[in-house]
Structure formats: C-alpha cells, structure tokens
A and B are shown apart, each in its own frame.
Chain A
C-alpha cells in the first residue's frame, strides 16, 4: 500500500467508522507501522477524533429531565386517549349520518316511485265492484255524513253517476243535505235527502217548473224523504228494473 492510498483509507479506519474490511484494515495498519509520515498523520487524526468526540459528548444533562419527560409523556398519553375517543365519536357520528342519509334517500326513492300496477288486479276489482250491490256503498257514504236511512226502493242505484256528496238544497242557501246524482242517456236527476219532518205531509207529490220537475218519492215512516229534481217528462228511466218473472 502506498502513502496516498493509506491517507485516503485513514478516514475509513477510525474506530467508530468500521467501514474497512479486515484485509484493508490489516494492510493499512502494516503501512502505518512502516511509514513514519503516515503513522504520525494517523496518530494526529486519531487524537483529534478522540478530542472532538470527548468534547462533543461533554454536555451536562439538566437534573430532573427524566422526570420532566415522563410527566409530559404521561400527560400526552391522556391527551392521546381523549383525542382518540373524540376521533372515534366523530367517526361513529359520520357513519350514523351516512346511514341516515342513505336510509332517507332510500325512503324517498321508494316513496317517490309509484308502485307498479297489476292490470289483472284492476280488472278483477272492477268486476268485483260491478258485481257488488251499489246500495251498500251508498249507505256507508250516507252514514259517514250522519244520515242513517234505508234507501228508497224507487231508484235504480246502478245509474249513480257520482259518489254521494253534500250539496246546497236549491232555494235554501247554506242548508246542505246529502245529494245523489243519477245519469242515463243524457238525462240527469239530482236526489236530495231531506228530513221527512221538514216536508209538509199534505204537499203535492210532484211540483212542475219551466225546466225541472220535483218529485217526492214515497217514504212512509222513514226519517228521510228523497226529493228528485229532474229534467225529463217522467222518472221511468230511473226506476229499478223489474225482477225477472219466476
């Protein structure tokens, strides 16, 4: 080994560095043993390293630093748990909010989307309604209006055009009574249900007029009397069909 190589390797041969492989370290030591110049240089460098290392580590550590550190770490640990708890709570709240939003959106979607219609169901229901006696429904509707009376047998309820509703009795503003509307072939009749006690017992059964006629249907002993206002010559079209002869 020559002096130039030896001086370059000196940096790697310091005790702390341990960068040289044993062969290189051995060759360097052999050279230093033989070369006085390099030996002196190495000795000086090692002495400088030793002095610098010693001075570098010569620092007084404050008394109580350890306890101070442990106290601070303990306090930090408490903070960490509090932060962790808050973090967890925030996460739970976020998840709950997302779930709530999702549920709300799902509900909105379900409610805003009309349910699919089964045509068979519609047809079956229509047939069922047609087969049903319309008087049952009319009686229920009247009952809901506070009127409980048997229906007049002189009317064909299959011709009812609208569900029963309350309407003002012509000539008596503000007095609303149940009204049934019947239609057939361009003819129309409105039937008002009036308390029997309001009708004069000796009154005429028919009252004529320019356009409309009023007929009082017989209602012996019943609480309500049916007044028919119509625009035809007679009420034949509104009569119930004759039962088939047996």
Chain B
C-alpha cells in the first residue's frame, strides 16, 4: 500500500491542477463523462500513492502521467478504437495563408479523435501547457527524436484537416483503416 497524502495537501493538489487535468483528460478521451472519470481516477491514485511524488514542483507532470496511464488502461480494454494512419503525412512545414481563422474547439476534438493515442498525446501536451519536447519524451517514455517526429506529423495532419475547408471530417473518428501506432 502506498503513502496517503494529507487532506490539506491533496486539496491543494486538486485546487492547483484539476482544471488542467480535466481539460487534458477531455482532449485525450474526447468526452466530458470520460474526462470526469479519468480526472477522479487520477486524483484518487495520486492520493493513495502520494509518497511517489518526491519533488512537489513535479506534481503536474506526475498527475498528467497518472491520468495518461489511466486513459491507456481504458483504451487497451476498448480495442474498438479506429484511427487514421499518419505514415503518408509529411512533417515539413508548408507556407500557410497570412490570416488564419480561429479553430473551432469541437472540430479540433473531432480531428484529435481521428489520431491514435501515440500521436494525440504529444500534440495535446505540446499545445496544451508548457510541455517541451524533453518533457513530452519523459512523459511518454520515448526518445526525443520520436516525439519530434510524431509531433510534426500530428501537427501536419491537424493543419490539413482543420485549415482545408474541403477536407472531409470523419464522423466519430472513423477512418478508412486502423492506425498503426509505432513509427
């Protein structure tokens, strides 16, 4: 059994991070119900394993990591996920139009849902908070080069899907074929 955090410490942890954690969970799972469940699960696990947090300044990545593991646990249980493959998507920057429109958050979520978790997590972490390549690599336990490559491809995919009005949005994240996770 782990070490239980004191009520005051846990409450402070909730106050400081619950909004961020919920949003991260929402972007990962794509549903508010799942996001609430994941957030609760992450804080509950954090409470009973509080002894694992050696450095309080690392609370945020620690909580993100707990939440992602909880999410992955669910995703593995649900093998019916359909995602698009990104092998054919280029990762070099192409010129963009001068004035970019605002991006609709709902549409962004639809496009995120089309990505497999290995692409979705780094792109969320990258844009969501102050996570740099190195932190994402630590969070996902990946080499930094892999993180950069996945980020570039995921970003290129988002750009294509979000900024090209003619690009069709796939309903419910369904894609022509299953995603391959590794690159």
Contacts and interface: CB of A to CB of B under 8 A. Distances in A.
A177 to B, nearest CB: 77
B101 to A, nearest CB: 8
Contacts of B104: 55
Interface string A50-89: 0111111111011001101110111011001001100100
Contact of A54 (B39, B95, B96, B103): B103
A45 interface: yes
A69 B25 CA distance: 14
A47 B96 contact: yes
B130 interface: yes
B134 A76 contact: no
Interface stretch (B7-15, B58-66, B70-78, B170-178): B7-15
Nearest to A45: B93
A40 interface: yes
A52 B112 CA distance: 11
B91 to A, nearest CB: 9
Interface residues of B, number: 51
B97 interface: yes
A43 B102 CA distance: 15
A7 interface: yes
B43 A59 contact: no
A19 interface: yes
Contact of B103 (A52, A74, A80): A52
Interface string B96-117: 1110111111001000000000
Interface stretch (A10-18, A114-122, A138-146, A168-176): A10-18
B40 A17 contact: no
Q: Which of B7, B93, B98, B155 has most A Cβ within 10 Å? A: B93
B53 interface: no
A44 B100 contact: yes
A167 interface: no
Contact of B132 (A18, A51, A54): A18
Given A17-B133, A56-B124, A69-B40, 18 more contacts: A7-B93, A43-B98, A44-B96, A44-B98, A45-B96, A47-B96, A48-B100, A52-B108, A53-B127, A56-B108, A57-B23, A57-B128, A65-B18, A69-B39, A72-B43, A76-B44, A77-B47, A83-B1
Interface of B: 1, 4, 7, 10-11, 14-15, 18-19, 22-23, 26-27, 32, 36, 39-40, 43-44, 47-48, 92-93, 95-98, 100-105, 108, 124, 126-128, 130-134, 148, 151-152, 155, 158-159, 162-163
Interface of A: 7, 10-12, 16-19, 40-41, 43-45, 47-49, 51-59, 61-62, 65-66, 68-70, 72-74, 76-77, 80, 83-84, 87
